[in-house]
Structure 1
Amino acid sequence: MNFGTPTYLYALAAISIPIVIHLWSKNTKTRVPFGSLRFLKETETKTTKHLFPSELLLLLIRIVLFSCLALLFAAPFIQKPASNKTVYLVDPNLEKEAFSKIKDQLNAEETYWLSPMKVAITDPIHVGNVDSWSSLKSFEDYDSLVVYSTQLLKQFQGNITPLASKVNWIQIPIQDKNETLFELSKKNQNTQINVLANSKSLLYEHKNVASGTNKLIKIHLKANQPYEELATLVEKAIAAINQSNPITFELVNVKESTQFSPDDWLIWLSSEPAPMRQKLIFLDAHSNLLEKKTENIYGLNPEISVDKMLQTNFPLQLETALTAPLNSELNEYDLRTIPKAYLGEGSGLQKSALADQPITEWALIAFLILLLVERLVSQIIIKK
C-alpha cells in the first residue's frame, strides 16, 4: 500500500488518546455519598468480569477508529503491476542505418518484426509490403505497442478496425529528402507551401507569391423542360459562388460533341437517364435539397423554390459539393493522422484503468462503520 500524502501518517500518534483516557478512567475513583451501610449489597463477580472485556473492546474500536481517520487523510492507494509488458515492433523496411540507432535501446526479448506472424527481431524476415493493421492485431494481448516504421499512420494497408492495445507510432522518415509543392489560393493572392521531409525533420515553408491564373473547372449543364426555371436557379447559385471562391466554375451547355475532362462536373436536369460521370449532380425526387449519394455523386430534389433555396443556403451546399474533390487532394499531403471518417464501425473512446487504484473511498466507509459501532458499544456499556 502506498500513500498520496504520507505526512498525515504522523496522525497515527493520535491512537494514544483513547489509551490514555482508558488508563486514566481506570485509576479514577468516584465517591458516592450514601446514608447507611445497611442498604449496600455485595457486587456480583460476573458483572465485574463482564465489564472489563467490554471496555477493552471499546478501547480497541476507538484505536482502529483513529487509525482509519489518519489513513483517510493520507490518501492510500494500491499500486497494481501491469498485467502485460510493452512490445516493440520494427518495420522490416526500416533502413539498416536508422535501425542501428535504436537497436541498442530495445530489449531483444520484447522486440519483434512488424508482420502478421510473431517473428523475433533476431530472426530473418522478408522485406516487402507490410499489412500494418493485421500485424498490430496479432499483438493485441499486450497493453501497449510501440511501432518503429517508415510509414505514416494513414498509410495502413488492410481493414481499419478498433485495436484493444494502445499504439505508439514512431515514424522514421527515409534518409532521402522529399519535397512536395502545392499552392493554396485566396482572392488575388496565392500562398505557396513547400513540405520538406527527411530523416530528421518535417518542415512546412509558407511563401506568398504573386497571384496567378485561378483554377478553372467546367460545369456541363443539361436542362430540359420543365426544369428551365431550376436551371436558372442553379446558374445564379454558381454565379454567387464565383464571387467569393478563388476557383472559377464555368457553365457549359451540354452538346453531343462535348468533351469531358476528369475535373469537369455534369449537372443533369432532365427526365432522361443521366450518363455515368465521375462527378455528377442529377435529379432525384427522393433526395433532400442536395444529398450525397456516393463519392462526388449528388441527388438534387426538383421540387425546390427560391424561398427554400434561400432558407437552406443552397449556394453554400453546392459550393461544398463542387470543392469536395479539391479538399480531398489537399488532405492527401497530411498523412500524420487518421480522419474520423476512416475509422471502422464500432470505434469509440476506450478508457484504460490506471495502474494506481485509490482506496480512499473504502477507508472512508470503514471509518463511518467503525464510528457507528463505537457509539453502539459505548451506549451498551453505559446501560450496564
Structure 2
Amino acid sequence: MSASGIRFDEVSVAYGRNAENTVLDSFDLTVEPGEVMALLGPSGSGKTTALRAVAGFVRPARGRVWIGERDVTDLPPYRRGVGMVVQQYALFPHMRVEDNVAFGLKAQKAPRGEIAGRVAEALEMTGMSAYARRHPRELSGGQQQRVAIARALAIRPGVLLLDEPLSALDAQLRSGMLAELARLHRELPDVSILYVTHDQVEALTLADRIAVMDKARLQDVGTPSRLYRRPGGTFTASFVGNANLLPVVGGPEGGTVRFGGTELRVGDTVRDAVRDGESATLCVRPHRIGLGESESEGGAEDGGNVLRGVVTGLQWRGATHRITAEIDGHEVTAEVGELREPPRLGERVALRFAAEDGVVLRG
C-alpha cells in the first residue's frame, strides 16, 4: 500500500435541474498521507457527499479532487484505487466470505495467482480467517462489517473511505469495532482514512483530525483535543462534546467577562480580544464544573469562578451526577462525581470552574 493523501480544492456539489440545491459548498480540505480524518456533522451537512466525491460517485459542479498527485475528478471509481466501506456492509449474500473479499481484486483484474494470498492477508488482518468459507447470513453484524473492511483492504488502497461503518451495530459491537479500526490504523500507517460519522465519540476516538461540517460547509478543522478544548465557534462547541454556552459581554479588565451580574475570569483563553461591553459566548464543559462553597462562605478564594443559582434538574448516572441549575435566566449543567448527599431540587447551589476552563467564542 503506497501512501496517498486527499485534497479537496474548493469542491462544490449541487443537485436539481438548475443546480439550485447545493449539498457541498466550496469545500477545501487536505487529508495528509497516513492521516485519519473524520468528517463530523449532522445529517445533511455534506459529509457523505464529500466522501462520495472522493470515491467518484458524485461529480463536483466546481473544484477538483486529488488523491496523492493525481487529479481524479474526471476518473471513474474503479480507476481511483480507493477502498470503501458503507454502513450496510453491501456483501453479496450468495458468495462465501472469501469470494466477497476477492471481488474487488477480480474487478481490477489482479493476477489470478495473487488473489488467494491477498484474500488470506486481508482476512487475517481483520481476524476473519476462520470464517472464509461461510456465507454472510452465517455471520454476526460485527463479523459482516469485518468482511466488508477486509474486502476494502484486499485491493491495498492508499485511501480508505468509511461511511458511517458502525451505525448499524449495537453499542457493545460498536465499541469493539472502534478498537479494531484503531488497531488496523496502527498496522497500516501509510493508508489515509476519511471517516464519515455523526457520532462524536467515534470521531474523538479514531481521528488524528476532525473536520466539523454543517449546512454544506466546513465549519472548523483541528485535532480532537483542540476542537474540544478550544472550539473555533459555537457550532463546534455544541457539536463536539457537551457544552454550556452562556451569553457574556467583555469586562473592563483584560481576561474578564460578565455573565448577568457576575464577573468571571477567563485568563488567556480568550481567542480574540473582547472589548468592554462587546457581546460574546462563554463555553464551559460540564465536566469542568464542580460544586463550589455554600453561599454563606463568600467568593472563590482560589481565584476560580463561582456561579450561584437554583437546582432545576438532577440525574444520577452511576459514577456521576448531572446537576442543572438556573442562573440569571439560563440553565448551567455540571457533571460531578457521585455525591453521597446531592443537592435537592429547588436548593440553591454554587457552581465553580477555573478561569482556564472558560473559552470565549465570538462566532
Taking structure 2 as the reference length, the TM-score comes to 0.23
Structure having the larger proportion of residues in helix = 1
Taking structure 1 as the reference length, the TM-score comes to 0.22
Structure having the larger proportion of residues in strand = 2
